[in-house]
Amino acid sequence: MFSKILIANRGEIACRVIRTARRMGVRTVGVYSEADGDARHVRLADEAVCIGGSAACESYLVAERLVDAARRTGAEAVHPGYGFLSENADFAEACAAAGIAFVGPPPGAIRAMGSKAAAKALIEAAGVPLAPGYHGERQDPDYLQDRAEAIGYPVLIKAVAGGGGKGMRLVERSEDFAAALGSCQREALASFKSPDVLIEKYLRRARHIEVQIFADRHGHCVHLFERDCSVQRRHQKVLEEAPAPGMKPAWRAAMGRAAVEAARAVGYVGAGTVEFIASESFLDDGCFYFMEMNTRLQVEHPVTEMITGQDLVEWQLRVACGEPLPLHQDQLGIRGHALESRIYAENPAQDFLPATGCLLHLVPPSESINVRVDTGIEQGDEISPFYDPLIAKLIVWDVDRDAALARMRQALADYRIVGVTTNVEFLSRLVACPAFVNADLDTALIERSRAFLFPERTDPPRSVFYIAAVAGLLEEHAAAAERAVRSGDPWSPWSQHDGWRLNIQSRRTLTYRSGDTRYEVAVAYELDGWRLSLGGESVLARGRVLESGRLAGQLAVELDDRRLVASVIAVTEKQEQKRHVFLDGGNYVIVRDDPLHLVEAGDAHGGGLTAPMPGKVIALLAGVGQHVARGAPLLILEAMKMEHTITAPKDGMVRAFRYAAGEQVADGAELVDFETDG
């Protein structure tokens, strides 16, 4: 076994590899960019090397610096993780030339599967079924559109060198093809340095099922069963599970054989994933098609580990140093059911727009044999615009799917994140969505369940304001007690903060705001608590901080005869005193109005024509002086390797663009001078 390895990656996967390496007695070398100097993976590694600037193209994508870091630190092997250079054949060859083992497949296998078009030709020759499409070398737009017409709409345009949902566009109509192709090629060039695409028939109500394979240098190859990855947004996975619900043993065996044949066709070694698209009738007829092969460990590998009891990173290290596979096919089996939710800094209500910012408060659910949290981020860390906004992967396991769903619902309800917008509440709705609960799965599940997943905004329940009030009153009481201790006379009645008044009951009003609505909570001090009144309703409230157990640090609040457990996190953002009330799986954000410092609510961003995050302007789509209709595209902003179109908020005229194509913009920067009609 290796004595020291370098991890050519960052964040969650770097921490994941370090965990297994440490258990195996293998020392680790971390690498970091200027933006990651104090990142968790740097703190966990036995040693670390700075490899360049904050942008990935200046650090994590520079093969020479990674190889040099491995050579200088005496690392015997490089684990590439996923993303970045994990599927780069040139990097694998550079490692080999330097006498350093690459924890992954041979360069030839990476090249064979790195091009989706070339991979499909190889796989077709191996007898694995392919979906109808065009996978050729000719790339002129008119010819590609002719191929799309021949295949029949809807079609998917996919980057030949792509992955992770980037460089992919669904086209429903012929008139939309040219714009979608241009956008797809730009994103593919930015993400993978190649604009080449292929075209496939888009299967409606299709399931995305992938098979984990493993091969060694001794001719052995096995599959570790399947994962269902059908639940996606923007063609990127959101929630994965293993095994695939409803999978018949015969279909599992057929898909496993096809995956192993695909691996053998390219002389594969190490961990890989063969991805299939299955038709709506799959559970009845077993009809599936090869999509692509990922020549690396997948983000969702933990669900496979949970149902098989195997550590796939340990398998990778053992195979890379020449050992045979730890188990044969007949020694592998499925136990229970596992689910993985990807916790992202993003806004689902705004088409899953990525978010940036500081994690002011971060408390994940407690880990156990049933709950696992893979993360590269801790409280106080920054979600920067330079990398993927993944906060963590939440993985749960139980004896069957229903029990695993219950575990996931509870674990999501226990997550506490303040400082950036996240998808936690969306995921909570997703695992409670009837279509998902009933395993009615396909890649369009989110779109066809929009009414359930994206409900209309409603006012917070009154209990939220009561809980916020109790939290504030308890905080005031604790602060007064601390001041009393410091005063030298802690028992003085003048040091108490209990609302006592001579011959009169003490009363006050706490004012909160949710949206544009103000809520005034009247507080009357009682001997055994507070009488709280809101909107004609009155309750006797008591509260205390829980000191031990799974709920330690949360509030136990009694409202008359009802007892609630909640968390209240107070932060100041943009001069507003915000209260994040975590209750029953929801995160209710309300504002405490200070009567001495009222902040007017309103649109401070000029009609929404501001940068939603730091990024780069890559195209101006309207002319100065041009009159446009509401919703017309004005410019395209690239952020986190994804394109975001800024549109006209109303009918009006473009007076000026503040930035030219190619220029960087800051979060909240005014992009367009726009004059609305009237």
- Catalytic annotation, residues: 296
Q: Within 10 A of 20 (CB to CB), how many other CB atoms are there?
A: 18
Quote the CA–CA distance of 55 and 386 in Å, as a whole number: 6
Which residue type occupies 166? Answer: K
Give the residue from 577, 592, 581 showing the smallest Cα distance to 416. 581
Answer for the pair 508, 532: CB distance below 8 angstroms, yes or no. no
Half-sphere CA count of 187, side-chain side, radius 13 A = 29
Instruction: Annotate 238-288 with DSSP letters as a single string.
Output: EEEEES-TT--HHHHHHHHHHHHHHHHHTT--EEEEEEEEE-TTHHHH--E
Q: Cis omega (within 30 of 0) on the bond before 348?
A: no
Half-sphere CA count of 266, side-chain side, radius 13 A = 33
Instruction: Annotate 356-379 with DSSP letters as a single string.
Output: -EE-SEEEPPPP-SSEEEEES--T
E-strand ranges in 94-165 read: 101-102, 133-134, 155-163
Q: Give the torsion sign (CA, 342, 343, 346, 347).
A: positive
Q: Within 10 A of 591 (CB to CB), how many other CB atoms are there?
A: 18
Give the residue from 269, 294, 289, 267 showing the smallest Cα distance to 278. 289
Give the residue from 358, 131, 109, 58 showing the smallest Cα distance to 213. 109
Quote the CA–CA distance of 666 and 39 in Å, as a whole number: 23
Q: Return the SS3 of 527.
A: coil
Q: Which residue has the tokens 């036995």?
A: 46
Residue count of the chain: 678
Answer for the pair 366, 414: CB distance below 8 angstroms, yes or no. yes
Answer for the pair 364, 415: CB distance below 8 angstroms, yes or no. yes
Which residue type occupies 639? Answer: A
Helix ranges, 309-461 (H): 312-320, 401-413, 424-432, 434-437, 445-448, 450-453
Q: Cis omega (within 30 of 0) on the bond before 243?
A: yes
Q: Return the SS3 of 538.
A: strand
Q: Which residue has the tokens 């996606």?
A: 232
Quote the CA–CA distance of 386 and 341 in Å, as a whole number: 22
